């Protein structure tokens, strides 16, 4: 790799640029996660994190091993419990762990790359540049549904732990007396079953690996035994999710759709890089065919001399495992349509699979780069340019998304059945309302935080705010709700011109100062920013007030910074 950039100065410049690019990808991924952050639980988190913690606290210990769809997410549940027990249930810990797992994946592939390049002359320089590329590759924002959703730790663990198992099994196969490495591999193999359903493939594949690499018979027997025990425990009292298709029936009835699903699934990174259209689909499927050809080639070479190719076989088995993941997902999800394969959450296993392929090809790539330096540099720069173009999307503000979720949390806190708003975080169900009631009473997670804490208890209190300065603002709309008929949803904007700031929480009182509702700001209002002040961009609000105040005077009392504004509540209309 050094030969690509003759001269010490150019080498240092290239090294600095590589480090800068890698850092930029990580920084943008973290930025994107922060921009989408809110402590309001999203979708599965209401039951699987908050509800789980409540149930475990109440003594339902059996839930640790209970199914979540077809999965047994034991390790993620441990993280969920830690989040509520020690970190306030704010989900920051969970999001940090998502990024930590990506960092651990980089470390794993770095170790594999180091082993693959051990006999090359340019090991140190090549490993440096390749590691920088791996960092950029594995931190791509195209997997934002996993990186920025606190619930998704299992999507990283389900790929990372089996790959760790294969790596440590390689270490064990390389040295027959490496009993510690074998024990670590077994531990990772068993733990894989506690990530997602695809994790149960790890131990059977490890047993096959041991057979191919001619490991000691007692190791093969241990792996087989652990596989049988783990599968037995996994499928004990197992119930197939009713909305998923049967594996055998799907393979028999929709074989072409399954193949297309797998091809798209493993080619998802290229589908995203090339525009998520027809061109992207063709390139994605072609890339998966290339992946299969590469894996088969290295598998054939590895089987011929297994003792000298234990790492090669470990990487091939990593690809096989991830291909099995794609196939298992296809048989369960293809009934919802082939395009399910290009969901952003499935990008993580695809990125991992391609990382395995790149490490397999690394010695060959180095030789090609040394033989054809200019085409190699041009190709690398083109790929990085495509990746960086997508990565830059992480810097896009997510004000509307955060606002919608925050207001959905407000509706739930106040007991307002604003179905349209609540659907931004979950379906309005009796189970959700029961979970909210318990969480609010125990002040768990978001319900212990401003601006949601104790809001319902504040209703009916008297606040005058006589000495407060006037706000600037307007109530644009008041609507009745379905199915809730006791409240009005109000929308508008509010701005403290004296402090040139947008307040966070708005307390709504009647003319006598009796608290009758609340609203949250944060909605983008470019029209207000243009007409009033650039700082008023996020002055839009949505909130809820008792329907009894319709047509009467209400007072909006804002905090942080404090101000007030009296308004006549406009005539309401039915919310569609």
pLDDT of 9 over the 80 cut: no
> 11 CB contacts (<8 Å, ≥6 apart)?
2, 5, 125
Segment holding 521, helix H or strand E: strand 515-523
The lowest-confidence range among 18-27, 130-139, 146-155, 376-385 is: 376-385
pLDDT score of 368: 84
Which of 209, 236, 263 terminates a domain? The answer is 236
What is the pLDDT averaged over residues 353-374?
Answer: 90
Exposure string over 288-318, b if 16+ CB within 10 A, otherwise e:
beebeebbeebbeebeeebeebbbbbbbbbb
In a domain? residue 136: no
Digit-coded pLDDT (tens) for 391-418: 999 999 999 999 999 999 999 999 999 9
Q: Which two tokens stand for residue 236?
A: 């004990």
**DSSP code per residue over 280-298:** HHHHHHHHHHHHHHHHHHH
Closest to 555 (Cα-Cα) out of 504, 494, 486, 497: 494
pLDDT score of 1: 42
Binned at pLDDT 50, 70 and 90, residue 2 comes out as: very low
Q: Which two tokens stand for residue 482?
A: 């379905």
Q: Using CB atoms within 10 A of its CB, is residue 15 exposed (0-12), middle (13-18) or buried (19+)? A: middle
Strands, E, within 450-502: which ranges? 472-480, 487-495
> 431 CB contacts (<8 Å, ≥6 apart)?
47, 51
Q: Rounded to two decimals, what is the model's pTM? A: 0.92
CATH assignment at residue 521: 2.60.40
In a domain? residue 46: no
Q: Which domain holds residue 540?
A: 460-574
In a domain? residue 1: no
β pairing state of 573-574 and 472-480: parallel
The lowest-confidence range among 123-127, 300-304, 491-495, 542-546 is: 123-127
Which of 185, 210, 236 terminates a domain? The answer is 236
In a domain? residue 227: yes
Exposure string over 253-271, b if 16+ CB within 10 A, otherwise e:
ebeebbbbbbbbbbbbbbb
Q: Tokens 């234990």 appear where?
A: 310
In a domain? residue 297: no
CA 291 – CA 108 distance, rounded (Å): 20
The lowest-confidence range among 266-270, 365-369, 561-565 is: 365-369
User: Which residue did the predictor score with more confidence, 550 or 314?
Assistant: 314
Which of 236, 257, 276 terminates a domain? The answer is 236
What is the pLDDT averaged over residues 332-352?
Answer: 88
In a domain? residue 177: yes
Binned at pLDDT 50, 70 and 90, residue 466 comes out as: confident
In a domain? residue 272: no
CA 87 – CA 99 distance, rounded (Å): 17
CA 496 – CA 172 distance, rounded (Å): 66
Closest to 493 (Cα-Cα) out of 474, 509, 477, 511: 474
Q: Tokens 């106040």 appear where?
A: 414
Binned at pLDDT 50, 70 and 90, residue 467 comes out as: confident
Count of C-beta atoms within a 10 Å radius of residue 332: 21
In a domain? residue 506: yes
Alpha helices in 36-87 (DSSP H): 45, 52-57, 74-86
CA 193 – CA 60 distance, rounded (Å): 21
How many domains does the chain divide into?
2
Q: To 10 degrees, the CA torsion angle through 547, 553, 556, 557?
A: -110
Diameter over CA atoms, the chain: 87
Q: Using CB atoms within 10 A of its CB, is residue 529 exposed (0-12), middle (13-18) or buried (19+)? A: middle
């Amino acid at each position: 790799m050094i030969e690509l950039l003759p001269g010490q100065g150019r080498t240092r410049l290239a090294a600095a640029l590589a480090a800068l690019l890698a850092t930029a990808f990580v920084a943008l991924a973290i930025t994107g996660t922060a921009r989408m952050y809110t402590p309001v639980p999203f979708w599965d988190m209401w039951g699987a994190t908050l509800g789980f913690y409540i149930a475990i606290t109440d003594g339902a210990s059996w839930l640790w091993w209970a199914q979540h769809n077809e999965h047994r997410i034991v390790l993620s549940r441990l993280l969920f419990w830690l989040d509520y027990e020690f970190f306030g249930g704010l989900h920051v810990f969970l999001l940090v762990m998502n990024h930590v797992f990506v960092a651990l994946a980089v470390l794993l592939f770095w170790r594999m790359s180091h082993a693959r390049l051990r006999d090359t002359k340019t090991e140190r320089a090549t490993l440096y540049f390749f590691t920088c590329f791996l960092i950029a590759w594995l931190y791509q924002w195209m997997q934002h549904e996993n990186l920025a959703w606190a619930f998704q730790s299992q999507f990283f663990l389900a790929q990372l732990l089996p790959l760790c198992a294969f790596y440590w099994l390689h270490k064990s196969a390389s040295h027959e007396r490496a009993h510690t490495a074998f024990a670590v591999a077994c531990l990772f193999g068993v733990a894989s079953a506690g990530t997602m359903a695809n994790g149960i493939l790890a131990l059977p594949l490890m047993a096959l690996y041991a057979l191919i690499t001619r490991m000691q018979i007692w190791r093969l027997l241990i792996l087989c035994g652990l596989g049988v025990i783990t599968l037995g425990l996994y499928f004990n009292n197992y119930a197939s999710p009713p909305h998923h298709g049967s594996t055998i029936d799907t393979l028999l009835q929709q074989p072409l759709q399954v193949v297309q699903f797998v091809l798209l699934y493993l080619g998802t990174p290229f589908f995203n890089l090339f525009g998520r259209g027809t061109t992207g689909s063709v390139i994605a499927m072609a890339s998966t065919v290339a992946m299969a050809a590469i894996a088969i080639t290295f598998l054939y070479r590895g089987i011929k001399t297994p003792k000298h190719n234990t790492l090669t076989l470990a990487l091939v088995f990593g690809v096989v495992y991830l291909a099995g993941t794609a196939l298992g997902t296809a048989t369960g999800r293809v009934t919802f349509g082939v395009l399910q394969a290009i969901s952003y959450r499935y990008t993580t296993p695809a990125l991992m699979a391609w990382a395995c392929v790149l490490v397999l090809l690394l010695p060959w790539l180095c030789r090609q780069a040394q033989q054809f330096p200019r085409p190699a540099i041009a190709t690398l720069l083109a790929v990085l340019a495509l990746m960086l173009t997508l990565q830059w999307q992480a810097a896009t503000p997510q004000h509307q998304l955060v606002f919608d979720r925050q207001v959905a949390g407000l509706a739930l806190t106040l007991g307002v059945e604003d179905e349209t708003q609540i659907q931004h975080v979950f379906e309005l169900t009796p189970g959700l309302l029961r979970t909210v009631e318990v969480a609010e009473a125990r002040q768990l997670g978001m319900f212990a935080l401003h601006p949601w804490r104790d809001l319902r208890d504040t209703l009916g209190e008297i606040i005058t705010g006589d000495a407060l300065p006037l706000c600037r603002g307007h109530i644009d709309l008041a609507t009745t709700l379905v199915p809730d008929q006791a409240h009005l949803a109000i929308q508008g904007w509010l701005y403290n011109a004296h402090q040139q700031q947008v307040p966070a929480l708005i307390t709504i009182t009647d003319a006598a100062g009796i608290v009758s509702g609340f609203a949250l700001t944060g909605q983008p209002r470019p029209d207000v920013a243009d007409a009033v002040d650039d700082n008023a961009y996020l002055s839009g609000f949505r909130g809820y007030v008792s329907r009894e105040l319709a047509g009467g005077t209400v007072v909006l009392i804002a905090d942080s910074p404090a101000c007030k504004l009296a308004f006549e509540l406009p005539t309401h209309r039915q919310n569609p």
